Structure 1
């Protein structure tokens, strides 16, 4: 699985709380003429242990889409990882979410809330360990996820998509097995109720003075693009 650019997260210099950065997902082997996911976020905490960031509702985001505007999940499964994509744009949904990316771990934990402020649950996004440069944090989504309910029940999500990713050449069978092993490691942490689940992040509330961040200019210059295979 191809490494992401920049230096590894976890070392100084760190971003101060309130700093706005871009959280980017790029496919393995990504090149500059290809679309990517870009989420403008506000830093909550950044240190040797983890990067914690907030994406507010209504935040403008970038994402790969089909040339006709359909989102990836609207593509037939048999072409999900081979179909042509171009750069698309949208806004972040719901109530926003908090993201905790422990240093060196191949996943991040996203915390979601109901409209009344009560905890909806945690979503563990399996992804490449984060790297960064001055204004960006980079990763590559690894398809498989683990959903954790507010009552601590958990289940894997998108196992069928991981199988399709192997069939369509995104991953080898060995890489998929490594991703499944990462999911098992996450499940063990959940069952032991280890960090970051036990750390009280469900009580987090964003600073109301934080402005809504915007997308970087490089995306605006290149969109909508000519379309490349995913």
Structure 2
């Protein structure tokens, strides 16, 4: 598997994976919009199918005690998004920024996902980005009002370090404050860029099938 000098091709499908300790917690297909030296931009339309990994008995993460969740080998369960998402993944940053669009193409919200810097990889015919979702996020409305999301969940899970995949609360909060400063300044990426985005109409639908190799070893940041 290569993760050195990986480049994505506009229009190709890549798989975003969220790591939870040594397991994959989410797999989601997106199409490459553009690859720049400092970031990659990805797109998935409303109706795209992704997968969470759930307990073998069907319980989701919210229905399972965290120690049991982290200690159990889980299985993929499909889910479908009801909105379009444009996702900007800057190199070396502790967050990604997502633009949410209604099915008619209208932009309605930004979402700052606080996470480990993404690692790009390519292995044969499969390509993707690996990160660890840090749970605490920031939701930003079109008027640039903002709010923290999942603060109580984040605080609760931090009390279980033997089962959690976040070990630096201060780092997570610093990432959120960095995003909030950009929001309040009206600076990129919260300056209107991509709010009118329209995907290439020639792009085919993303595959609804979970690809072989989805559970290959997670690539962590150096």
TM-score range, shorter chain: 0.7 to 0.9
1:213 corresponds in structure 2 to 206
Residue 6 of structure 2 corresponds to residue 18 of structure 1:
no
1:195 corresponds in structure 2 to 188
Structure 2 CA distance for aligned equivalents of residues 15 and 25 of structure 1: 19
1:95 is displaced (CA, Å) by 2.4
How many residue pairs get aligned? The number is 206
> Which aligned runs of 4 or more in structure 1 are off by greater than 3 angstroms?
5-8
* 1:134-153 aligned within 5 A: 134=122, 135-153=127-145
RMSD: 2.4
Q: TM-score, normalization: structure 1?
A: 0.80
Q: Relative CO higher for 1 or 2, CA cutoff 8 Å, sep ≥ 6?
A: 1
1:228 corresponds in structure 2 to none
- Listed as ranges, the gaps of 5+ residues in structure 1 are 222-230
- Listed as ranges, the gaps of 5+ residues in structure 2 are 217-222
Q: From the superposition, tell whether residues 189 and 217 of structure 1 become closer, same or farther in structure 2 (CA, over 3 Å).
A: same
Residue 83 of structure 2 corresponds to residue 95 of structure 1:
yes
Aligned partner of residue 202 in structure 1, secondary structure? coil
* 1:44-83 aligned within 5 A: 44-73=33-62, 75=63, 79-80=65-66, 82-83=68-69
Q: From the superposition, tell whether residues 164 and 95 of structure 1 become closer, same or farther in structure 2 (CA, over 3 Å).
A: same
Counterpart selection for 1:159 from 136, 139, 151: 151
1:225 corresponds in structure 2 to none
Q: From the superposition, tell whether residues 117 and 133 of structure 1 become closer, same or farther in structure 2 (CA, over 3 Å).
A: closer
Q: TM-score, normalization: structure 2?
A: 0.83
Q: From the superposition, tell whether residues 6 and 168 of structure 1 become closer, same or farther in structure 2 (CA, over 3 Å).
A: farther
Structure 2 CA distance for aligned equivalents of residues 129 and 68 of structure 1: 32
1:148 is displaced (CA, Å) by 0.1
Residue 120 of structure 2 corresponds to residue 132 of structure 1:
yes
2:171 corresponds in structure 1 to 178
1:113 is displaced (CA, Å) by 1.8
Q: Is the 8 A contact 2:182 2:188 kept in 1?
A: yes
Q: Is the 8 A contact 1:27 1:36 kept in 2?
A: yes
